[in-house]
Structure 1
Amino acid sequence: MKKYTLLSILLACVSSLAIAQTGSIKGQIMDAASKEAIIGGSVILKGTTPPVGTSTDVEGNFEITNVPTGKQIVIISYVSYKPKEVEVTVYPNQAILINSTLEEDVATLNEVKIVGQRATFTDVSVITEIKQAEQIAVGISAQQIQKSQDRDASQVIRRVPGVSIQDDRFVIIRGLNERYNTVMLNDAITPSTEVDVKSFSFDLIPSSAIDRMMIYKTGAPELPGEFAGGVIKIYTKTVPDENGLSVSVSSSYRAGTTFQNVLSDKGFAGDVVGFGAGARKLPSSFPSTNTLLSQNRPTEATLQAFRNLPDFYNVENTTVNPDLRLSIGYNRKMFVGDKTLTTFNNLSYTNSNQVLNRDQNRYLSFDPSQQKSEILSAYQDNFYGNNVRLGAMSNWALILNPNNKIEFRNLFNQLASKETTFRQGYSTENGRDVENFAFRYEAKSIYTGQLSGTHDLSDATTVKWTGAYGYTHREEPDFRRFVSSRDRGTNDPFTVEIVPGSNASLTRGARFYSTLNEYTSSLRADVEHRVRRSTYADNDKMDIKLRAGAYGEYKDRSFKARWFNLVNPGGVAQEVLNQPFDQLFSANTIASDKLYYGERTNFDDRYDAQSLLAAGYVGVFYPFTPKFNTSLGFRAEFNRQTLQSRLRGAGTDVDVDNPIFRPLPSANFTYNLSEKSLFRLAYGITLNRPEFRELAPFNYYDFAFDVSRVGNPNLKTPTIHNADFRYEFYPSDGEIISVAGFYKSFLNPIEAKVRYAGSGVSFTVDNAEKAYALGAELEIRKSLKDLTSSGFVNNLTLLLNASLIQSRVTTGFEGQEDNRQLQGQSPYLINTGIYYNDVNSGWQVNVLYNVVGPRIFLVGDKEIQPTVYEMPRNVIDLNIIKAMGEHWQLKVGVQDLLNQPFRLIQDSNLDQKITNVDETYQTYRPGTYSTVGLSYKF
């Protein structure tokens, strides 16, 4: 109730600020010599922070609304034209008309050449790009990003139609699993940032560095052939609007986390900046795996090597501080003779925390007569996680002349997470109460660099090229976990369970270490030649466009793990085993006649993998009439995935070698019904390759779910047939209303599933036989300006994105449910928001809502483990932004206002729907997240 009261008060405050009157500026920008419209020209109000403005549409028209009354200076610019400043006086509720021209910028030897840049960051420019795209596309601009409290790309992209976010990082488009997306950073494919799945972690890119984000939902020959949800292009900034230095700092409070007293691993000094792995990993002098396996009993040198490792149980009680975020941006435009050098730089630091009280249950078979399942185990986790991200971006552009530009982009992120989990509960399987602990640290270093060029060889021919390099280094050093138990229902002390002799256990006194290195190199080249038709000599929109290009990529990954567990050789006094945890796991108890660590590394604890991708394409854009055009293309991709590992136990070699050649045709048709509406139709074939980890037989223990995760070397590459249509209506600049439908047919789709063997339950992946998805989408982005005489209503913009999807799977496996929805796919998605923006007073208030329909988290079977569903959460975010003069900006935000629980529910009665009889698999509340931030722009 308090939350809704707060919301009402804030909206009332906003409406009281809406009495200020504003006007608008509109007009048309033309070439001074040819009198042709300048498309994509930048029109900005001078001195506004962030920049307030727009870009010209296909007719050269523009309109800036909600302009403060009084004198304003309008800056008009475009590539290779001289910028112009126009002074106007804006009156309340009136539109001021500016019809202006720009002259080409011809430099002399003694002059500095000013090269304007097309504005791509505004709502209007992005909607214009969507309208002019030959494929079905959606997008979001930097201007809209600034209206929200979104910190990174993962939060930004959930505002895009048909998009949802999983685990606060991974993108799902059209309800499909994140594996069906390809992410491009500018014009280079990003490497997967996760070890287990094909996925890109969008929280790596700060929102302040994003120029715009586009999602292409249909195929084209110049786009990668590996997707079914969409190709996501994140364009980062290289050319600043003006020179500047900005500093921002924010602090956040999470309900249920901040100022809580928690149990935490003490850690090391390097943890604060994300470089804590070095203090935890095995030293170079540590005995090798072969050395330890050759010893019947550890030598004194081996025992001493283990004694020298950091303490196993090294915890403290600590109070959780508020989250901290710092960001420094430096932008500059420099002129070197007749050339322009620009740079956009960003340095960011984040230190965030989360406390979760997580319940999870496992069950025996469902009893129809009792309408419930007998509990196998019930656990309550007290989880504390500290996450650190240190990021640096440095982008450069050298504009040699209006026809040639070189860009150099660099992005580096150091990410680290430190997790402490204290688990309490019971197991009916062995009749024991349990208290288990896990201490996990993970660090990732991710770098991607791109060197690219754009060259207009003539008025008719453009060549683009990009060379990219990516590096991912991941360490998971000294992941420690142990189990303690007692007879259920007693008050006996908990005793640590230690395996006897040569037995191995992933959970009992185990120490796990792993290292991953992945290198990716790629090179692409694209050429476009435009043919002017004699019958349309004065209309460049009727040009025939011929395209061709090539892409090459090589990826190499090496992974190795090593682990040990504490061994009881027998004869150890009971008083030793009953010691407090910190004493039992101390160096003093490590001895050949007490407790010692045994090498448990197996054959499958390492793998090497390589991927070679070679692609080429040809395409043509052919406008039959000014209203009807088509874009046809053919792309061919050859990919060879190889992986080398060995099976656990016998050590049988695993050699995966999958050379696959796929022809990938695509066709896009567009019919312009009028200047403001059009209809699109598209078809294409795409594919979805397995990730390296999905092919590897490596067995990894996941403490959070208390299961092992294992790959499948027999995975096949899925093929997808995609058909789409979309109707688009553009009421005015910056507005869009669209309705779309799509159909996808999958052959051999990959799904996450449960596997039951003699060693217990594990999570794995496998191919289903076939599947289909049928969906509809609605997008509305509409200003309420001029609907009433109210200044408050005129400052409102409504955003609505909704998707409905039906999918069905044929598994081809006995014992699994058929005719169900595709794993990871949601039946519906809704994103909506109300944006209030009063330029005159500097107030912005946004209320945003998001919900994702129930989706299959894990495919089960009909006997032991039912299918598990992730249930919907209604999420409301509130953001308030106040500009204070030209330099200061205050941001206040509340995310996840409702704080509804995250719930995994198993379909206990196997009826393919979740009802009251179905039971909780896992649940927790993330906590409402409140942020206060202050930024200053020099």
Structure 2
Amino acid sequence: MQVSGVKGQQFGVKGKVLDIETYQPISGVSIKIANTQYATSTDNAGEFSLTLPEKPGEYVLVSTFVGYNTDSTAFNLEQKTWEFVPVVLVNANSTLEEVVITRRREHISEAALLAERKASNLMVEKIGAQELSRKGVGDAASALAKMSGVSRIEGTSQVYVRGLGDRYNTTSFNGLPIPSNDPERKNIDLDLFTTDIVEYVAVDKVYSNYMSGDFAGGNVDIASKRYSGDGMLEVTIGSNTNTNVLDQWDNFYLQQGPTRSGFVNYGVPNDPLGGFNFQNSLNPKKQTPLFGNIGIRGGKSFVLGMGSRLNLFAVANYTSDYNYREGVNRELSAGGNRIKDLDQIRYGYVTNTTGMLNAEYVLNPNHKFSYNFLFINSSDQSADRYSGFIRDMAENGQGIIQRNTFRQSKLFVNQILGNHLLSEKIDLDWGLSYNNVTSGMPDRTQNTMGINDQLGYRVLLQNQPADNHRYFQDLTETELAFNVAAHYKLGDNDQGRISLGYNGKIKDRDFEDFQVNFRIPSAGRQQRIDLNDLDAFFNPDNFNQGVFRSEGFTLDLPQTYQGKQDIHAFFANGEYKLTDRLTGMIGLRYENITQTIDYATVLDRSGRPNTFKRNSLLPNLILKYELNEKQNLRLGASKTYTLPQFKERAYFRYIDVTETRVGNPDLYPSQDYNLDIRWEMFPRASELLSVTLFGKYIVDPMNEVTFASSANDVSYMNTGDWGAVYGAEVEIKKDVFTFDNGDSKLSVGGNAAYMKTDQELSAEKVRSETIYNLNLTHDRAGFTGASDFLMNADLSFTKKWNNESDIVATVLYNHFSDRLYALGTEGKGNQIDRGLGTLDFILKYKVNRKFGVDLGARNLLDPTYERIQDNTDVPVTILSYKRGIRFSLGFKYNL
């Protein structure tokens, strides 16, 4: 913050601060005129300006920033002139005389991100690599769950920001959009982004028109890790185990087909209905649950002459993990009568293979280009066994449903970005991306069995052919995106700037699934079945003899849909320093949106297109008032929208064990109005105290609800005219005490959010706007996935010695209160996930410059995850299980 001088000031000093190794601007640098009260800090572009009194002469500019050597630069001022002073800061761990970079500075340190947050005119929150490491966070989804107002649904990729789930949030990678890997979701699974490739994770909870207008909860931006320095090569290896898995060490079963690597190449067989010619066995495969991770990353910078530099950074890693759980899984009627009352056992195995390359070419301090390549292969397989009561099939409690699921996703990301300083007042940023994602479920199997009371042994059960089936699913999506923004600085004293830009996104999705149902005549249902040897029944000989038959969907054709989405946006934004302390940002964004879906499904074979078009004008306002050098008061207000997703509007049915989802072609976008007020204080470089009040008003909110049908299917609907979210967030970071001349420190951190969600529910609105009949149990409800109270807390002890070694020990606690899982219909009560708390302990020991050890103990309290159905008499548990305590050990070695 600038300290004001004499009224009528007409000259001063301005400049730009760069990292001497990378030519990158540094935000949040403290700028001061020696032996005076005049001070300021650099903005997001690393620039500063400081008005001085009319006193020509020699001054000394002192620049300080955490992790860099202090710089003192002398300059002379002539009367009534402005002096431009370029400043370069040297990494505190660099020895430039020997041109040896001993350790890359972490610009994403907690103190650096706090300094950036303090200086920024935008209201954005970031968690960087240093904090992620300290908290033992392994992926971007877990990182978000450590931030205020953000929660994650256990066992899924869903992240809720301020009580708003998948459809209300967006995800980007280096500021450019990225497609989803799951046809059920709008956003990509953030578990895929391991912290090895993440520089920081940012959450914009307050809208600015640089972002897509499809915004309500927040925008998550993942910044890829970069490197600058003489060279580094690091190898990591580790393993982890789970107490639940250890109990099943000699009795762990998965399906046949998928490999430990997570890569497969099989799919729908040729002529799947003409014979039984499937590649994989139906018999379970016993597997020893050995798992772990291995990775390598390296970087190097090359000085090319004439001020040019090339920075390279690459990562390759592989992780795998086994999991096991057991508990109850029930489906109940409105009166609490059993539809399915099952004990569930799940064996699971997940893998993640990641490769990333970043190439950054710095032509000179004014021009920079970068290319980012990312490849991720992820796999997730589960072998589920449900046993117990199944209405109309196994009412003696001896029913068994075996369901084996394997999903593989491949993501390719290609990005080219440029930053150009065209003149002292004009700069230009642009980015181009081409992304491709393929996701497949190549051979999901399901079989239903039970003890026949008359025969006295286990047989196959069937109410409909789909009770025994094999299922295949394929999704391919391509996305082309382009961003460009030009900025013009106002005034000679950098009073503000005007920005103009364009964002474009063209997305194409192709989806196909095919299910082979096995119709079993009564004679076949008399045969004895061994649930561990289903191949004895399902084999080519029995198929050829007519013991069972194969059939597909209606007309024995696959279900398909094709989705196209074109969004073209133009925006204008103005920032201006209205007074010495008040800065305003006002912007307007125009978006032209077209979304088309063509589908041919069991429910509708017509294949007719389903299209909607929108033209949206989206204003936004952000104000920042600097109360003093350490405190800011901010306000943000905006209008945005929320789009329905492809599969939500495709008239398509997806069948799971306990529920069936159906698309709604009449679903349409919501309109969102957002307001935030925030006070924040930065007592020291590493400390923060922040309080935020927020509110959102949503017109025509969308929900997942059960509609009136014989199967109680779930669909997506605009369930009312309005919805509202409001609440408060508190953040704190505090150094409790330091000793050993600052080499030892005990620090605490935490955040909490209290919020309320409310929405109108109108069955009449649904019946008048859609093809569905709906009978809701209540006429008001909260938003699904929203907890009233969220809390994160951490306590860290850090000790450094010998300038080479350090140890960091952190205890973390997370808590969320009860949250709504599904709205009640047809007299059923709401389904609610019970709140719980988790406790983790992380220890990181850097032995020396080359060697480090990481220890982790997670989920130490091992709470019970429980979902209840809030019936009229007493709540009934419909889902319950424990995850087990997880221990991990890892080693790092720098070559």
TM-score by length of 2: 0.85
2:878 is the alignment partner of 1:921: yes
- The DSSP-based 3-state class of the residue aligned with 1:381 is strand
Question: Which structure 2 residues correspond to residues 140-539 of structure 1 after superposition, within 5 A?
Answer: 140-167=127-154, 169-258=157-246, 260-262=249-251, 264-268=253-257, 271-276=259-264, 278-279=265-266, 281-283=267-269, 286-287=270-271, 302-303=274-275, 306=276, 308-321=277-290, 323-338=291-306, 339-366=308-335, 373-430=336-393, 431-432=395-396, 433-487=398-452, 492-498=456-462, 505-507=465-467, 509-533=468-492, 537=493
Tell me the amino acid that sits aligned with residue 161 of structure 1: S
Tell me the amino acid that sits aligned with residue 287 of structure 1: D
- The DSSP-based 3-state class of the residue aligned with 1:194 is coil
- The DSSP-based 3-state class of the residue aligned with 2:112 is helix
Cross-structure match for 2:118: 131
2:751 is the alignment partner of 1:825: no
Q: Does structure 2 conserve the Cα–Cα contact (< 8 Å) formed by 1:313 and 1:586?
A: no
**Residues in 1 aligned to 2:525 and 2:245: alpha-carbon distance in whole angstroms:** 41
Question: Which structure 2 residues correspond to residues 582-621 of structure 1 after superposition, within 5 A?
Answer: 582-600=535-553, 605-621=559-575
Q: Deviations over 1:814-847 (max 9, x none)?
A: 5321222112222111011111111226111000
Cross-structure match for 2:42: none
**Residues in 1 aligned to 2:105 and 2:426: alpha-carbon distance in whole angstroms:** 20
Q: CA deviation at 1:184?
A: 1.4
- The DSSP-based 3-state class of the residue aligned with 1:353 is strand
Q: Does structure 2 conserve the Cα–Cα contact (< 8 Å) formed by 1:877 and 1:894?
A: yes
Q: Deviations over 1:601-622 (max 9, x none)?
A: 5678211110000000001001
Residues 778 and 222 (structure 1), Cα distance of their counterparts in 2 relative to 1, 3 Å cut: same
Residues 578 and 422 (structure 1), Cα distance of their counterparts in 2 relative to 1, 3 Å cut: closer
Q: Does structure 2 conserve the Cα–Cα contact (< 8 Å) formed by 1:247 and 1:327?
A: yes
Aligned length: 811
**Residues in 1 aligned to 2:726 and 2:87: alpha-carbon distance in whole angstroms:** 50
Tell me the amino acid that sits aligned with residue 127 of structure 2: I
Residues 324 and 180 (structure 1), Cα distance of their counterparts in 2 relative to 1, 3 Å cut: same
Q: Does structure 1 conserve the Cα–Cα contact (< 8 Å) formed by 2:401 and 2:447?
A: yes
Cross-structure match for 2:581: 627
User: Which residue among 744, 763, 784 is the counterpart of 2:714?
Assistant: 763
**Residues in 1 aligned to 2:582 and 2:534: alpha-carbon distance in whole angstroms:** 75
Q: Deviations over 1:34-69 (max 9, x none)?
A: 97686576999xxxxxxxxx986343699xxxxxxx
Q: Does structure 2 conserve the Cα–Cα contact (< 8 Å) formed by 1:604 and 1:698?
A: no
Q: Deviations over 1:693-746 (max 9, x none)?
A: 11112211123xx22122111111011000110001110112111111011000
**Residues in 1 aligned to 2:682 and 2:538: alpha-carbon distance in whole angstroms:** 67
2:824 is the alignment partner of 1:860: yes
**Residues in 1 aligned to 2:526 and 2:72: alpha-carbon distance in whole angstroms:** 91
Q: CA deviation at 1:476?
A: 0.8
Cross-structure match for 2:93: none
Q: Does structure 1 conserve the Cα–Cα contact (< 8 Å) formed by 2:28 and 2:118?
A: no
Residues 573 and 852 (structure 1), Cα distance of their counterparts in 2 relative to 1, 3 Å cut: closer
Cross-structure match for 1:724: 676
**Residues in 1 aligned to 2:741 and 2:707: alpha-carbon distance in whole angstroms:** 61
Tell me the amino acid that sits aligned with residue 746 of structure 2: L
Q: CA deviation at 1:886?
A: 0.9
Q: Does structure 2 conserve the Cα–Cα contact (< 8 Å) formed by 1:105 and 1:113?
A: no
Q: CA deviation at 1:273?
A: 2.0
Q: Deviations over 1:847-905 (max 9, x none)?
A: 01111222111112151x32111121201110011111111110000111111011111
Tell me the amino acid that sits aligned with residue 128 of structure 1: A
**Residues in 1 aligned to 2:28 and 2:659: alpha-carbon distance in whole angstroms:** 56
Tell me the amino acid that sits aligned with residue 399 of structure 2: V
Q: Deviations over 1:495-543 (max 9, x none)?
A: 01257xxxx5322x2011111111100111111110224xxx4xx4xx2
**Residues in 2 aligned to 1:317 and 1:578: alpha-carbon distance in whole angstroms:** 16
**Residues in 2 aligned to 1:860 and 1:397: alpha-carbon distance in whole angstroms:** 53
Q: CA deviation at 1:753?
A: 1.6
**Residues in 2 aligned to 1:125 and 1:195: alpha-carbon distance in whole angstroms:** 38
- The DSSP-based 3-state class of the residue aligned with 1:334 is strand
User: Which residue among 496, 521, 527 is the counterpart of 1:544?
Assistant: 496
**Residues in 1 aligned to 2:69 and 2:225: alpha-carbon distance in whole angstroms:** 31
Tell me the amino acid that sits aligned with residue 327 of structure 1: G
Residues 114 and 796 (structure 1), Cα distance of their counterparts in 2 relative to 1, 3 Å cut: closer
**Residues in 2 aligned to 1:793 and 1:802: alpha-carbon distance in whole angstroms:** 30
Q: CA deviation at 1:577?
A: 6.8
Q: CA deviation at 1:362?
A: 2.1
**Residues in 1 aligned to 2:365 and 2:17: alpha-carbon distance in whole angstroms:** 16
Cross-structure match for 1:851: 815
**Residues in 2 aligned to 1:438 and 1:882: alpha-carbon distance in whole angstroms:** 43
Gaps of 5+ in 1: 1-33, 45-53, 63-77, 81-94, 293-301, 367-372, 911-916
**Residues in 2 aligned to 1:181 and 1:513: alpha-carbon distance in whole angstroms:** 29
Question: Which structure 2 residues correspond to residues 884-903 of structure 1 after superposition, within 5 A?
Answer: 884-903=847-866
- The 10-residue stretch of structure 1 (395-404 or 332-341) with the greater mean CA deviation from structure 2: 332-341
Q: Which aligned segments of 4 or more residues in structure 1 are displaced greater than 4 angstroms?
A: 34-44, 95-99, 101-106, 111-119, 569-573, 575-580, 601-604, 789-794
Q: Does structure 1 conserve the Cα–Cα contact (< 8 Å) formed by 2:28 and 2:116?
A: no
**Residues in 2 aligned to 1:190 and 1:845: alpha-carbon distance in whole angstroms:** 35
2:845 is the alignment partner of 1:882: yes
- The DSSP-based 3-state class of the residue aligned with 1:272 is coil
- The 10-residue stretch of structure 1 (137-146 or 590-599) with the greater mean CA deviation from structure 2: 590-599
Cross-structure match for 1:736: 688
**Residues in 1 aligned to 2:33 and 2:384: alpha-carbon distance in whole angstroms:** 59
Q: Does structure 2 conserve the Cα–Cα contact (< 8 Å) formed by 1:215 and 1:231?
A: yes
- The DSSP-based 3-state class of the residue aligned with 1:320 is coil
Q: Does structure 1 conserve the Cα–Cα contact (< 8 Å) formed by 2:206 and 2:218?
A: yes
Q: Does structure 2 conserve the Cα–Cα contact (< 8 Å) formed by 1:112 and 1:337?
A: no
Residues 820 and 569 (structure 1), Cα distance of their counterparts in 2 relative to 1, 3 Å cut: closer
**Residues in 2 aligned to 1:456 and 1:746: alpha-carbon distance in whole angstroms:** 40
User: Which residue among 683, 686, 693 is the counterpart of 2:640?
Assistant: 686
Q: CA deviation at 1:363?
A: 2.1
Q: Does structure 2 conserve the Cα–Cα contact (< 8 Å) formed by 1:41 and 1:55?
A: no
Residues 112 and 524 (structure 1), Cα distance of their counterparts in 2 relative to 1, 3 Å cut: farther
**Residues in 1 aligned to 2:725 and 2:558: alpha-carbon distance in whole angstroms:** 36
Q: Does structure 1 conserve the Cα–Cα contact (< 8 Å) formed by 2:553 and 2:602?
A: no
Q: CA deviation at 1:213?
A: 2.1
Question: Which structure 2 residues correspond to residues 784-823 of structure 1 after superposition, within 5 A?
Answer: 784-785=736-737, 795-813=745-763, 815-816=775-776, 817-823=778-784
**Residues in 2 aligned to 1:345 and 1:878: alpha-carbon distance in whole angstroms:** 30
**Residues in 1 aligned to 2:524 and 2:649: alpha-carbon distance in whole angstroms:** 42
Residues 344 and 425 (structure 1), Cα distance of their counterparts in 2 relative to 1, 3 Å cut: same
**Residues in 2 aligned to 1:895 and 1:42: alpha-carbon distance in whole angstroms:** 41
- The DSSP-based 3-state class of the residue aligned with 1:713 is coil
Tell me the amino acid that sits aligned with residue 476 of structure 2: N
Tell me the amino acid that sits aligned with residue 691 of structure 2: V
Q: Deviations over 1:192-214 (max 9, x none)?
A: 22211212211111212222222
